[in-house]
Amino acid sequence: TKPYYSINSSMNNLQYFFFREKIRINNLRLRSTYKKFCVNPDYNKKYLYFAASYQPEATTFTTGVYQDFFLVLDILSSVIPSDWIIYFKEHPGTFIDGSSRYSTLVRDKYYYQKVNSYDNIQMVPSEVETFSLIDNAQAVATVSGTVAWEAAVRGKPSLSFGSAWYM
């Protein structure tokens, strides 16, 4: 209700403590929600590996329209061959048990329900080894993550929708 730039709009120490504690609890709940939708990857299938970037983060919020991962997923989902799937892996930092991570400001259970609603997208646990997913994928995609560079170095086709340092 107060202007953002006003000194009176800041939280006091107690309010800030409760805000950070709520974030920590929500991160734990978010991890539980995500795991309910996860499947273990089948490396014998043809798939595109989509590595979600941590949000909120400057590298994804400066990419214009592609800060909306659903736009990227819509594009990828509609252009991959019909016998492929997309393995969606959430950034492991999203679920860190600490109050310094603000992922629950961007992600919630409805976010993962929407990801799960795609016919050709499956979520995999964030603990799954990234290089195993890269090495067995037909291609790799991300908004601005290092995984596209790692895939290119390993000889895999990669797509980056953002403006990353390796571009």
Whole-Å CA distances, 19 to 1, 32, 105, 124, 134: 17, 20, 11, 30, 37
pLDDT at 63: 56
Highest mean pLDDT among 31-35, 68-72, 94-98, 135-139 belongs to 135-139
Mean pLDDT of 116-124: 97
Residue 88 in tokens: 């969606």
Strand 139-142 relative to strand 84-89, pairing: unpaired
Q: Which helix (H) or strand (E) holds 24?
A: helix 13-37
Average pLDDT score over the chain = 88
For residue 133, is pLDDT > 80? yes
43-55 pLDDT, tens digit each: 999 999 999 987 7
pLDDT at 39: 97
Whole-Å CA distances, 107 to 56, 126, 144, 152, 164: 9, 15, 17, 28, 22
